[in-house]
Amino acid sequence: MKKLDHIALFADLSKMDNLLLNYIKLLDDNFNFSKLTVIHYVALDAYSIELQEVIPELGEPLEEVLRKELQQNIKNVFGGPRDTIDVHIESGGSIGKLVDYVDSMKFDLVIMGKKAHYAGSGSLGGKVVRLCNANFMFIPENSRPNIQKIAVALDFSKYSEKVMEMALEVSGKTGAEIMPLSVLKAAVRYFPYIRERVAVEKSLKENHQKSYRKLQNKLDFDANLEFLIPDQDQHIGKLIYDHALTNSADMIIMGNKGKADNEALLMGSVTERLIATDKVLPVLIVK
């Protein structure tokens, strides 16, 4: 089972940085990370007109000014400088270079904030999570830094074993209860009438339960699998989120893509739904 040792945090020098740093400090109390890298992305090119006008007034390179600001924020939360915390300034405005850097560092987990007005596909977070190979965790600005129950979305695709491994790692370090979930989406869509649907639901449950028992035997854990059945037009992402919220989950862990998603897609439709709308629960996406 892969451990969470080297963590990255995207910081934008907004008020949300304090929430994210405090969230990471809570995680660090349990995980004792070997390394934290705080990343700040400068969207403007160093030679843009806007920066050319500002840089002379700074008295030192822009990267150094940003680095000092971030280091002060880190000090405010962690109580002083630490050898295990680095700051990386990615300037030049190139998403491609940013993605290359993140992938080259082989972070075990990358954490990003998600503000209330987060729009999804056009944001930095939306672009980076699609293109990078790392596991990503999105933390909404109104989430609480507390992990006592984890909703784990399983569809028994090739991602499911990694998803459960991640859930067990987080649970093992925090003591959180895990709540495995499986959606029986075919039962309503293709068999809307009661008699046929009941028979199909039973068959799907048996198949999912069989796959789940294999996963339990391989990873050696105990937790009952819950089945969710969507209404005719209900989006699976909303169903998972609503169930997690109603049952007091503090986090959702899920795979990057599911069985029904095209391999050419950078991210699955359910995952897109959960990170592209305003939510109060952190979502950890396993690649």
In this predicted model, what pLDDT tens digit does every residue of 100-122 receive, in sequence order?
Answer: 999 999 999 999 998 765 444 34
> Is beta strand 149-153 parallel, antiparallel or unpaired with respect to 136-140?
unpaired
State the chain's mean pLDDT as an integer: 85
**Full set of structural domains in the chain with CATH:** 1-143 (3.40.50.620), 146-287 (3.40.50.620)
- Alpha-carbon 137 to chain mean position: 2
* C-beta of residue 253 within 8 angstroms of C-beta of residue 202: no
Instruction: Please name every residue paired with 153 in a beta bridge, in sequence order, or none if there are none.
Output: 181
Give the pLDDT confidence of 29-86 residue by residue, as tens digits. Answer: 889 899 999 999 987 655 566 666 666 666 788 788 899 999 999 999 998 778 899 9
DSSP code for 90: E
Q: Higher-confidence residue: 133 or 60?
A: 133
Angle at 103 between CA 73 and CA 146, to 5 degrees: 45
Give the pLDDT confidence of 142-199 residue by residue, as tens digits. Answer: 787 789 999 999 999 888 999 999 999 999 999 999 999 999 876 555 555 656 667 7
- C-beta neighbour count of 103 within 10 angstroms: 13
Mean pLDDT (whole number) for 90-98: 88
Backbone angles phi, psi at 163, to 5 degrees: -60, -45
* C-beta of residue 134 within 8 angstroms of C-beta of residue 39: no
pTM for the full predicted model: 0.86
pLDDT score at 242: 93
- Please report which helix (H) or strand (E) contains residue 245, including its range: helix 236-246
